[in-house]
Amino acid sequence: MIQKVTGLSMAVHEQLELYKHRYAPKPGNDTGRRVCIVTGIHGDELEGQYVAFLLGRRLKEHPEFLRCTVDVYPAMNPLGINTIQRGVPLFDLDMNRIFPGADDGPAVEYFAHKAVEDMRGADIAIDIHASNIFLRELPQVRISEETAPALVPLAKELNIDFVWVHAAATVLQSTLAHSLNAMGTKCLVVEMGVGMRLTRAYGEQLTEGILNLLRSQGFWSGETQQPRTPLVSKDEVAFLNAGAAGIFMPETLHGTHVRAGQVLGVIADPLTAEEKEVVTSPVDGLLFTLREYPVVYPGSLLARVLKQEVTA
Partner 1 sequence: MKQEVLYALDTPYRQRMEIEGFRFGSGEKACAIVGGIRGNEVQQMYVCARLVQAFRRLEEQKAILPGNEILVIPCVTRFSMNVGQRFWPLDNTDINRMFPGYDQGETTQRIAAALFEAVKGYRYGIHFASFYLPGDFVPHVRIMNTGYQTASLGNLFGLPYVVMRTPKPIDTTTLNYNWQIWESNAFSLYTRDTDRIDEASAQQAVSAVLRYLSRVGVVKYNCHSGYMSTVINESTLAPVLTPTGGIFRPKKVPGDPVEYGEVIGEILDPLTAELSAPVTATTSGVVFFATDKPLVLEHEVAFKLIRRLHV
The nearer residue to partner 1, 6 or 216, going by C-beta atoms, is 6
- Enumerate residues 6+ apart whose C-beta is below 8 A from 203: 47, 50, 51, 54, 193
Does 301 bind partner 1 (CB under 8 A)? Our answer is yes
CB of 287 to partner 1, least distance (A): 19
Type of residue numbered 225: Q
**Count of residues near partner 1 by CB under 8 A:** 42
Q: Verify binding: residue 91, partner 1, rule CB under 8 A.
A: yes
Q: How far is the CB of 21 from partner 1 (least distance, A)?
A: 25
Q: 83 or 229: whose CB is closer to partner 1? A: 83
Binding residue for partner 1, selected from 27, 28, 32, 92, defined by CB under 8 A:
92
Work out how close the CB of 48 gets to partner 1 at its nearest, in angstroms, rounded to a whole number: 20
Nearer to partner 1, 25 or 246 (CB): 246
Interface pattern 19-58 for partner 1 (x via CB under 8 A): ----------------------------------------
Considering only 143, 258, 286, 296, the residue that binds partner 1 (CB under 8 A) is 296
Written in H, E and C, the secondary structure of the chain is: CEEEEEEEECCCCCEEEEEEEEECCCCCCCCCCEEEEEECCCCCCCHHHHHHHHHHHHHHHCHHHECCEEEEECCCCHHHHHHCCCCECCCCECHHHCCCCCCCCCHHHHHHHHHHHHHCCCCEEEEEECCCCCEEEEEEEEEEHHHHHHHHHHHCCCCCCEEEEECCCHHHHHCHHHHHHHCCCEEEEEEEECCCCCCHHHHHHHHHHHHHHHHHCCCECCCCCCCCCCEEECCCEEEEECCCCEEEEECCCCCCEECCCCEEEEEEECCCCEEEEEEECCCCEEEEEEECCCEECCCCEEEEEECCCCEC
> Which one of residues 33, 34, 67, 86 is an interface residue with partner 1 (CB under 8 A)?
86
Interaction between residue 2 and partner 1 (CB under 8 A): no
Does 173 contact partner 1 by CB under 8 A? yes
Q: Which stretch binds partner 1 (CB under 8 A): 33-41, 60-68, 118-126, 238-246?
A: 238-246
Does the footprint of partner 1 cover residue 116 (CB under 8 A)? no
One-letter amino acid at 297 equals: Y
Span of 56-64, 105-113, 204-212, 220-228 interacting with partner 1 by CB under 8 A: 105-113
Does 274 help bind partner 1 (rule: CB under 8 A)?
no
Is residue 198 near partner 1 by the rule CB under 8 A?
A: no
The window from 24-32, 48-56, 226-234, 243-251 that contacts partner 1 (CB under 8 A) reads 243-251
In the sheet with 295-296, reading across from the earlier edge strand, the strands are 274-280, 263-269, 246-250, 295-296
Residue 170 CB, nearest distance to partner 1 (Å)? 5
Burial of 72 (0-12, 13-18, 19+ CB in 10 A): buried
CB nearer partner 1, residue 33 or residue 136: 136
Binding site for partner 1 (CB under 8 A): 8-14, 16, 86-87, 90-93, 97-98, 104-107, 110, 132, 134, 170-174, 239, 241, 244-247, 269, 295-301
